[in-house]
Amino acid sequence: MNKIYFVLFTLILVVLAFSIQQHKNPKVQESITYFPIDPKVTFKTAETNLTVMSKPANTLLWKEKSILDREAYLRQDAALLFANGRLIDQLWNWKQNTSVIEQEKRITIDESVFLQAITFHHAELHENDNQIFSSQAMSSHQIFFITTQNDQEKLKKQLDQQTERMLQLSWNKGLRHFSINLRNYQEAFPLSQFNELAKDTLPGFTKSETAAIVGNLWEGLYKNYILGIKKAEGAIENPKGSTLPLILIANDKTHLLVLTETRSGEPILLRQLMEVND
């Protein structure tokens, strides 16, 4: 009987030790979470590149890389690739206790397209007294992938115009569907343009306010778009084939809207609250 009690006591100690270890080292979730920006931390490198490969033919090399100036508790990069205004692929990765994230992918493309690649680089930093901060950066690259040698400049212009026309029709459809009054919002920015503007400061906002808006936006995009579009009825749809998101910032600075359309043509609206102090 004593032996049985000893075995049970030993098992209890093992379970307690495991529980304590799990509490000290909580499981890292594959997600992007915005925390206040640490101004002392910077990205030494944050880049996205699209390269047309000579061999094999019709092959695109898509690369993104970011290097923080120190190791971070958690590093994450999320990258989106659009062709003629629709999402064709995405990359995301996360690592603990590192400063570097690097990803690449080769893609076969059979027709001429206008390509836009957008990447959000993020770091989660745990400092003394259980304080958590963020550091973030953005990068992008766009090219025309042309599969013919004839009238390339004319074809580039056509692709640009076709993409713009498709996106405008899609966004207008969404604005009507959700009865969005544009007078209540500042100028609407496609995600590609939004990211470029937000590298400095968004119109009407300070640098710190811009950083908070960007961080919260990408947290929402990661959870509700990249990992699957969350629809109103609770279903989740693969974002592949969806349109380049349009970002609308409320005049009263309380929220922003993300407007997109699924591959099947269903308008999708995401609402993100903004905590901005005037």
Reported pTM? 0.87
Residue 276 confidence class, pLDDT cut points 50, 70, 90 = low
Per-residue b or e along 179-202, where b marks 16 or more CB atoms closer than 10 Å to that residue's CB: ebeeeebbebbbbbebbeebeeeb
Structural domains of the chain, ranges and CATH numbers in brackets = 43-145 (2.60.40.10), 154-273 (no CATH)
Q: What angle do CA 49, 51, 114 make, to 5 degrees?
A: 90
* pLDDT at position 191 over 60: yes
pLDDT digits (tens, 9 = 90+) for 110-153: 999 999 999 999 999 998 778 999 999 999 999 999 998 888 99
Query: What is the CB-side half-sphere exposure of residue 205 using CA atoms within 13 A?
Result: 26
Q: Mapped to the 3 state alphabet, what secondary structure does 16-47 carry?
A: HHHHHHHHHCCCCCCCCCCCCECCCCCEEEEE
Identify the three-state secondary structure at position 62. strand
Whether pLDDT at 3 is above 60: no
